Amino acid sequence: MSAGDTITIIRPGLSSVSVKADGIIDLPNADSLFQGIGLPANAAPQAPPDNVILLPEAMWHSFFDGQAAVCPDSVKTQLHIKIDRDFPSDPNTAYTFVTGKADNLEARIAGNGIVGDNLAARLLAVREDALYSKVLFLF
């Protein structure tokens, strides 16, 4: 695959569409974009897909709004939301603060969505590292 190649998108219930690749990009932290939402806490992370195409929003709608009407279960919406980074500097307090925000959002959307909290997952690891560092310092 390289820039200029034609990509064919197969759409359930509709004819295929083709687009020209403008370029190839690297998606750092792709696992957070394509994570399985609602999986058990200890589930192994899924490998991100290797067949991803990023489209301008208007083009995406022109390709997939019809598919959503014909096969509604084949189209999903994900929102990636960035929160203000004005949380406490202590990892434990920051983790509690961020999970509280996620819980509040989940309560507000009441069954209409699921929160996949990447920030809390990172803060959990940082919190554990900070605790381990304190224990090592005591020894």
The 10s digit of each residue's pLDDT in 7-64 is 999 998 899 999 999 988 887 766 666 766 666 655 656 666 778 888 888 999 999 9
Residue 100: which domain range?
Answer: 79-139
Domain match, 84 and 107 both: yes
Domain match, 88 and 63 both: no
Show the beta-strand stretches assigned E in the chain.
6-9, 17-20
- Of 78, 98, 124, which one is at a domain's C-terminal end? 78
- Of 78, 95, 113, which one is at a domain's C-terminal end? 78
Domain match, 48 and 96 both: no
Q: Report the number of distinct structural domains present in the chain.
A: 2
pTM, to two decimals: 0.58
Please state, in angstroms and rounded to a whole number, the distance separating the CA atoms of residues 53 and 75: 15
Domain match, 52 and 117 both: no
| 88 contact partners, CB below 8 Å, separation of at least 6 | 94, 97
Domain match, 47 and 9 both: yes
Please state, in angstroms and rounded to a whole number, the distance separating the CA atoms of residues 32 and 2: 25
64-83: per-residue pLDDT in tens? Answer: 999 999 988 888 777 777 77
Radius of gyration of the chain (CA): 20
